[in-house]
Structures are given as structure tokens and as C-alpha cells.
């Protein structure tokens, strides 16, 4: 008879859970490929959760403001604006700002703040899978912790939309979730494909998240020139989140 120590038994159970979840993932992946349907978008509800940092511009956008100002850029898009911290920041500093988000609550909060501050920000409720703008509209855009709220097909679609709305030589700052993040490895989250999970708990329940490896990011952005590429891990008491931060330039022409 085989006897297992407590630790070995736990490892065995964990391995069983992992292989069965991998089996289910493969089955779901096959089903998704057969249907070829992009996962349905789901917005944040900004009436439910506002951590204070969502009200202040992210540290990474300060150098972008100085750079884009110096380059004479004017037309800025806040893609997936949330409650609009970056819209307000760029509008306050002389940019012509368009902003949109799938979540009505976020856009409503942005509109209220923009009105109070007398800033002429054009806002919309819309889905990033089909950007509500004409081709070659923007000098620059920020999509901060947004475009990964989709699946493998969805994120490709958003990136092609970014290329479409950016002017030639325009620049985009985009962030990606890394597969090193704890939430990617959390077996309680439902895997839709190898790279995509849908969170089941908390304020992001039902919202898809695409997790990339470095090579996925490079491949997704192959039609752009990569100007800056960085990786950062953020530690919280109960969680580590890892992201790629990428600045790209729309130099390359679209593929025929
Ligand atoms: C982590 S928040 C970031 C908000 C903002 N970019 C910021 O940095 O403050 C992610 C935002 O993406 C929005 N979002 C998710 N899926 C979306 C979609 N398909 N189209 C547009 N916005 C979406 C959410 O509603 C949410 O406001």
C-alpha cells in the first residue's frame, strides 16, 4: 500500500485539480474555436468600486504628456477611460480629448467632473472592439489596463482598431496583463482559453482578462514600432499583479 505524507497528498490533490482544469480548458478552447465567437465584453461598474488610485493619473503618463506636448501632438484618446483620470489630466494640459468606456457609470462620473472643471471632453459609452471614431483621427492615445479585458481574438481586434484610428506616426501607450500575475494561476478563475480567464469573484466577476507572455505582446504589436517596453510587478498584501507597459508608434503601413 502507498502512504502519502500530508504535503504529498496536498500536492497530489493540487495536481489533480490542475490537470482537470487543463482538460476542461482544452474542451472549452475547442468549443470556442468551433464557434469562433469573441467573448462578450463586460464593463466595470464604477458605482461599486473605486480605489483612490483610479482618481489620480498613473505615474507612467507624466513623461508621455511632456513628450507628446513637445512633439506638437494635440488630439488625444483615452481608450477605456474609466472615471477619466487621464482624460482630465490631458485636457487640463491643453490636449483635445476624446474618451470612451463601456461602463456608463464611469463615463457619467467623467462628464460630471469635466463639467465642474469646465473642460470640453467629448465622451461616449462604447465598446473597444469597434472604436466609434473615423480612421487617422488621433495623434496619441492611452489604453491603461483596458485592452486585456477581452480574449485572444478580442485583443487582436482592439489593436487593429488602435492602428486604424491613430494617425501615421501617432503613438499609443498600452498595458497588458502578464501570465506571471497571481490571478492567472488562481484555479478558482475560469479559463476560457489558454490565455484568457473570466474572473468569478469580486468587483470584476464576469469580466474577461487576457494574460500575455512577452512574446504574445511582441506578436500582437508586430504592425507597430515598439519605442518602449517595460515589465512591472506590483505587490499587495494578498496578491501580486504583473503587467507589460508598451509605447508604440504607428510607423508601419497596414498589411495588404
Ligand atoms: C482597470 S479600469 C482602467 C480605467 C482607466 N483606463 C484608468 O486607467 O483609470 C478598466 C476599464 O476598462 C473598461 N472596459 C472593459 N471592457 C471594455 C470594452 N470592451 N470597451 C471599453 N471599455 C472597456 C472598464 O469598464 C473599465 O472602466
Q: Considering only CA atoms, which of 129, 133, 136 is closest in space to residue 158?
A: 129
For the chain, state the CA radius of gyration.
Answer: 20
What's the pLDDT tens digit per position in 67-124? Answer: 999 999 999 999 999 999 999 999 999 999 999 999 999 999 999 999 999 999 999 9
Q: Is 75 in the pocket of ligand 1 (CB under 6 A)?
A: no
> What average pLDDT does this structure show over 203-230?
94
Q: How far is the CA of 10 from the centre of ligand 1 (A)?
A: 38
**C-alpha cell of 112?**
460630471
Q: What confidence tier does 31 reach under pLDDT thresholds 50, 70, 90?
A: very low
Q: What confidence tier does 252 reach under pLDDT thresholds 50, 70, 90?
A: low
> What average pLDDT does this structure show over 132-160?
96
> Which 3 state secondary structure label does DSSP give 214?
helix
Region of poorest pLDDT, from 30-34, 86-90, 96-100, 214-218: 30-34
What's the pLDDT tens digit per position in 176-185? Answer: 999 999 989 8
> Which 3 state secondary structure label does DSSP give 86?
helix
**Which residue's CA is the closest to the ligand 1 atom numbered 13?**
80
Q: What's 33-53 look like in SS3?
A: HHHCCCCCCCCCCCCCCCCHH
Point out the ligand 1 atom lying closest to the alpha carbon of residue 43: 25
Tell which one of 82, 156, 204 to mutate to probe ligand 1, the residue whose CB is within 8 A of the most ligand atoms.
Answer: 82
Q: Is 41 in the pocket of ligand 1 (CB under 6 A)?
A: yes
Cβ atoms < 10 Å from Cβ of 50? 16
CA distance 45 to 127: 14
Q: How far is the CA of 102 from the centre of ligand 1 (A)?
A: 7
Cβ atoms < 10 Å from Cβ of 172? 25
Amino acid at each position: 500500500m502507498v502512504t502519502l505524507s500530508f504535503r504529498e497528498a496536498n500536492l497530489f490533490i493540487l495536481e489533480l485539480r490542475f490537470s482537470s482544469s487543463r482538460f476542461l480548458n482544452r474542451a472549452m478552447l475547442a468549443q470556442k474555436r468551433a464557434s469562433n465567437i469573441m467573448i462578450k465584453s463586460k464593463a466595470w461598474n464604477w458605482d461599486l468600486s473605486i480605489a483612490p488610485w483610479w482618481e489620480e493619473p498613473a505615474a507612467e503618463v507624466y513623461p508621455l504628456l511632456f513628450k507628446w506636448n513637445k512633439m506638437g501632438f494635440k488630439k488625444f484618446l483615452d481608450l477605456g477611460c474609466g472615471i477619466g483620470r487621464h482624460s482630465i489630466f490631458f485636457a487640463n494640459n491643453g490636449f483635445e480629448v476624446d474618451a470612451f468606456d463601456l461602463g456608463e457609470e464611469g463615463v457619467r462620473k467623467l462628464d460630471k467632473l469635466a463639467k465642474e472643471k469646465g473642460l470640453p471632453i467629448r465622451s461616449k459609452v462604447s465598446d473597444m472592439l469597434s472604436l466609434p471614431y473615423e480612421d487617422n483621427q488621433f495623434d496619441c492615445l492611452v489604453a491603461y489596463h483596458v485592452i486585456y479585458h477581452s480574449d485572444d481574438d478580442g485583443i487582436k481586434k482592439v489593436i487593429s482598431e488602435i492602428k486604424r484610428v491613430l494617425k501615421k506616426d501617432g503613438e499609443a501607450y498600452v498595458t497588458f496583463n502578464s501570465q506571471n500575475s497571481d490571478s492567472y494561476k488562481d484555479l478558482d478563475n475560469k479559463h476560457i482559453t489558454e490565455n484568457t480567464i473570466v474572473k468569478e469573484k469580486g468587483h470584476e466577476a464576469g469580466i474577461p482578462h487576457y494574460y500575455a507572455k512577452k512574446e504574445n505582446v511582441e506578436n500582437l504589436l508586430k504592425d507597430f514600432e515598439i519605442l518602449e517596453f517595460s515589465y512591472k510587478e506590483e505587490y499587495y498584501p494578498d496578491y501580486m499583479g504583473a503587467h507589460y507597459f508598451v509605447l508604440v508608434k504607428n510607423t508601419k503601413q497596414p498589411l495588404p
